[in-house]
Structure 1
Amino acid sequence: MALTVVSDTGRAWRLTERIGNGSEGVVYAVDDPRPLVAKLVPDPPAPAGYRRRVARLVRQRREPRTVRLLAGTPVRIAWPLAAVRTDGPPDGAVDGYLMADLRRDHHPFAHLLAPAARRTALPRATWATALTAAHALARLVADLHAEGYVVGDLKPDNLWADGQGRVAIADVDSWQFTDAGELFPGRMGTPGYTAPERIGAQPGTPPDRAADDFVLAVLVHQLLTDGLHPFAGHPGDGGAYLSYDDNVLHGRCRLLDRASVVLPRSAPPVDLLPRRLRDLFRTAFAAGAVRPSASGWAEALAAEAAPNRLRGCAADARHVYTVERPWCPWCDLAETVAQQRGCAPGATERDGNAWPR
């Protein structure tokens, strides 16, 4: 049976297909001429508090700071447009909100990170596209911070990208913000995308911008290294691999210490990253260091994405890399993968794992 949701003003919308779900909510398509979806949260920790949070976000959409964030096309933020509840008995109703359907202009962010998905969904994407997307993401986070918002649960599942490297974000209801002097703390966190100081933190401990800056660096690294998490790898001391978070807590990251982790030969090399970005990553991940801000990342990434900082491969026009490299790292990586598989390098065109494949 189709679901119907109703706003506080009594307007009703019919929900059609279920198109996704996350750790807290379920997303449905909406029967409406506008590209809308509805997020329903069946069991928030504090239902009344959640309704108040969504109502404040809906109201803030008309404030100058939010108007600035929502300006331009395509949409960068799936902002709550109207608070809704399922049409049923009050004690059994489910709360949620309507937001823009980012699928109209974007693909899931993971399609840009994962080689197999990228090959199908974004076949023209290159490393230059990844640089553009990294800059767009850093600029978006910097703009949010400038207007007083903290994402708190920054991760690929909340992000979207298109073939030109433009980036958008959803799940605004989990952000941290202040409204009329009341703090609405960030409520969520995701393994592998959590700053070290927040790993194991008490529930309800509010995040800060520095926590976003750490995860931003993780995502930028993944964009520029074919999806490789910067804290990936088995412990170099021979211990058992437990999780990204365990590696984060113990500083196991090849950018900090090459001997701290063991990675397969097929992992993209460190030196495909420009020196300026490598230095930023090391500062972002080093214990006790003041992390580069989102605006700092945006500035550095914009500089590295400039045409005079990029080089095209003579052997494959789709391979793009930094001018600091004397030869193409993607050709090297394709040859390494082919040798491991016992096939000719050209076979990686079909199923390899490097840009733009």
Structure 2
Amino acid sequence: MALTVVSDTGRVWRLTERIGNGSEGVVYAVDDARPLVAKLVPDPPTPAAYRRRIARLVRQRREPRTVRLLADTPVRIAWPLTAVRTDGPPDGAAVDGYLMADLRRDHHPFAHLLTPAARRIALPQATWATTLAAARSLARLVADLHAAGYVVGDLKPDNLWVDGQGRVAIADVDSWQFTDAGELFPGRMGTPGYTAPERIGAQPGTPPDCAADDFVLAVLVHQLLTDGLHPFAGHPGDGGAYLSYDDNVLHGRCRLLDRASVVLPRSAPPVDVLPRRLRELFLAAFGGVRPSACEWAEALAAEAAPNRLRGCAVDTRHVHTVERPWCPWCDVAEVGGGERTAAAPGAAGRAAAWPT
């Protein structure tokens, strides 16, 4: 039997294949002339509060601050369009959710841009200039959300999408933190490896803030510009056991902060793939006063200028900062990482499903 959902006004949609699932929700394709998907949340902590949250987000689509956010083409936010419930028996078993734009129409999962193996399959024309554009686009998106009064709270690759020009889009709006009519709807989710240090181990329900997003933004920008390398990756330099990214975050184990604090494989991109100005921002983000998303967007825009980029004479896929006297990606390829100068088979990356 086909799964159907119904809105408060009685309109019915038929759901087709299941295209993604995560820690909280399940995403289905929708049988509709428009590119839509439906996110259903089978077991929210407080169903009534979740329904109220979705209703407020749907209403906020008409507010000037949100209208401005949604004015871009292609769409960069999969905003809740209408609240729906599964059209089930009247025994309390119906599942709540909402319809939103299907970002698969114009975008790839963000992870497809992070590593050379995935890029070769999904985005073969992408270069370091593309990842730089994506970093700038992501920073601008987060800056715009903060300016409009929204806190993402659970910023992570699985909620992000990117197109071939490096334009970034975001989903899972229902987990954001926002205020409506004086009522705070706190951020509800968090992900290991993409959590600011002050929120690691925080009590459930502790509201995030823009500074927490700014920390994770810096993590994602670092990954974009270093072939997916997490800035807190590596085994402890003192010989201790590696536990997790979060453990490294809490103990300040980061190559940029202290080269001796972690041990990384030889294939890791060198630190100087990053322009000096960006390295300074990373140092501040991970060990000082965090730059805002707006500061990141401005700095990344400056580094994306044509006079700041240099192509490789050996491999046209290699682009790097003019501050580097020779191609760092050729160096990485020589030790078995990154894009090889000759075509080589590689993992295709994750399928283009909808992460939740």
Q: Which residue of 2 aligns with 1:124?
A: 125
Q: Give SS of 1:14's match.
A: strand
Q: Which residue of 2 aligns with 1:307?
A: 306
Q: In the alignment, is the contact (CA less than 8 A) between 1:77 and 1:170 conserved in 2? A: yes
Q: Which residue of 2 aligns with 1:136?
A: 137
| Deviation (angstroms), 1:72 | 1.8
TM-score under structure 2 length normalisation: 0.95
1:350 and 2:344 are equivalent in the alignment: yes
Q: Which residue of 1 aligns with 2:205?
A: 204
Q: In the alignment, is the contact (CA less than 8 A) between 2:232 and 2:245 conserved in 1? A: yes
Structure 2: distance between partners of 1:330 and 1:346: 9
Q: Which residue of 2 aligns with 1:332?
A: 331
Q: Which residue of 1 aligns with 2:56?
A: 56
Cα distance change on mapping 1:181 and 1:326 into 2, 3 Å: same
Structure 1: distance between partners of 2:345 and 2:294: 36
Deviations 1:194-221 (A, max 9, x none): 0000000000000000000000000000
Q: In the alignment, is the contact (CA less than 8 A) between 2:315 and 2:341 conserved in 1? A: no
| Deviation (angstroms), 1:336 | 1.7
Q: In the alignment, is the contact (CA less than 8 A) between 1:175 and 1:186 conserved in 2? A: yes
Alignment of 1:168-247 (within 5 A): 168-247=169-248
Structure 2: distance between partners of 1:166 and 1:28: 24
Deviations 1:262-300 (A, max 9, x none): 0000000001100000000010001xx220000000000
Q: Which has the higher helix share?
A: 1
Structure 2: distance between partners of 1:216 and 1:346: 31
Q: In the alignment, is the contact (CA less than 8 A) between 2:314 and 2:341 conserved in 1? A: no
Q: Which residue of 2 aligns with 1:341?
A: none
Structure 2: distance between partners of 1:337 and 1:249: 31
Q: In structure 2, list runs of 5 or more residues that go unmatched.
A: 348-356
Identity of aligned residues (%): 88
Q: Which residue of 2 aligns with 1:29?
A: 29
| Deviation (angstroms), 1:346 | 4.9
Q: In the alignment, is the contact (CA less than 8 A) between 1:334 and 1:352 conserved in 2? A: no
| Deviation (angstroms), 1:237 | 0.2
Q: Give SS of 2:84's match.
A: strand
Amino acid at match of 1:4: T
Q: Which residue of 2 aligns with 1:95?
A: 96
Amino acid at match of 1:74: P
Alignment of 1:12-91 (within 5 A): 12-90=12-90, 91=92
Structure 2: distance between partners of 1:118 and 1:72: 25
Q: Which residue of 1 aligns with 2:352?
A: none
TM-score under structure 1 length normalisation: 0.95
Cα distance change on mapping 1:277 and 1:346 into 2, 3 Å: closer
| Deviation (angstroms), 1:89 | 2.7
1:166 and 2:173 are equivalent in the alignment: no
Structure 2: distance between partners of 1:89 and 1:280: 55
Amino acid at match of 1:190: T
CA RMSD of aligned residues (A): 1.1
Q: Which residue of 2 aligns with 1:156?
A: 157
| Deviation (angstroms), 1:114 | 2.4
Structure 1: distance between partners of 2:311 and 2:161: 27
Amino acid at match of 2:283: R
1:107 and 2:108 are equivalent in the alignment: yes
Q: In structure 1, list runs of 5 or more residues that go unmatched.
A: 339-344
How many residues were matched structurally? Answer: 344
Q: In the alignment, is the contact (CA less than 8 A) between 1:337 and 1:352 conserved in 2? A: no
Q: Which residue of 1 aligns with 2:292?
A: 293
Structure 2: distance between partners of 1:196 and 1:300: 24
Structure 1: distance between partners of 2:246 and 2:103: 30
